[in-house]
Amino acid sequence: MKITYVTGNYGKYISVKEKFDNARINIKYANIDINEPNINDIEYISKYKAMKAYELIKEPVFVADSGFYINNYPNNPGYPGAFVKRSGVSSNPDKLLLEMKDIQDRTCYFLDCLTFYDGQHFYQFFGKCEGTLSKEKRGNSLKRAKSNLWFVFIPKNCSKTLAQMTDEERNTRNDGRTNATDNFINWYTNEYNFSKQKVK
């Protein structure tokens, strides 16, 4: 079965394509940006977008969405969450750093949700990556970068931002992260049709 990754962010597609190739799963790329419902709930948003993507593509699809949660954001703990794109935080890390310049507790995390929809059932997979916010932007522009936040996010147990790391460093880092894409690939390869992760 061919499945289509629907996203308007080519970097997100590039960042996972090699994993699917290695697993011998044939994915296609559909450059479509789907408007998100105005709700701060990553699971709901991802499921909604998968449904809309299927209506457009008419074949099995998956979408992947990320929330970014800053534990001690001034006057709004957990901001921006699922609003990371709409808030402008992901597109303007300079402004984010300015907002956070006097904050000592800079812990934060990404929460990823991948939703696969085959036209009958929704299946959702999650990943979490904890870390801290740097004091300044660091690193180089990367085609595979999912977000400009890569320039300011330092994974747990690391000293470099994601944008400073080589591909090998990013892939082998010991930060205790879980990965929604890896979880999906493992399930799709070994358990599809038998999974209990179905969302009713």
- The CA-based angle 154-156-159, given to 5 degrees, is 50
Which tens digit of pLDDT belongs to each residue from 4-16? 999 998 888 888 8
Q: Does the pLDDT at position 149 exceed 70? A: yes
CA dihedral 166, 126, 108, 44 (to 10 degrees): 130
> What number is the average pLDDT over the span 119-127?
95
CA dihedral 165, 147, 79, 31 (to 10 degrees): -150
- What's the predicted TM-score (pTM) here? 0.81
* Domain residue ranges of the chain, discontinuous segments joined by +: 3-199
**What is the fold of 3-199?**
Maf protein (3.90.950)
Predicted confidence band of residue 196 (pLDDT cuts 50, 70, 90): very low
Which tens digit of pLDDT belongs to each residue from 22-39? 999 999 999 999 988 999
Contact 173, 158 (CB under 8 A): yes
Predicted confidence band of residue 197 (pLDDT cuts 50, 70, 90): very low
On average, the pLDDT of the chain sits at 90
> What number is the average pLDDT over the span 163-179?
92
DSSP symbols for the chain: --EEEE-S-HHHHHHHHHHHHHTT--EEEE--PPPPPS-S-HHHHHHHHHHHHHHHH-S-EEEEEEEEEETT-TTSTT-EETTTTTTSTTT-HHHHHHHTTT-S--EEEEEEEEEEE-SS-EEEEEEEEEEEE-SS--S---TT-S-GGGGTEEETT-SS-TTTS-HHHHHH--S----HHHHHHHHHHHTTTT-S-EE-
Which tens digit of pLDDT belongs to each residue from 45-63? 999 999 999 999 999 999 9
Beta bridge partners of 61: 4, 117
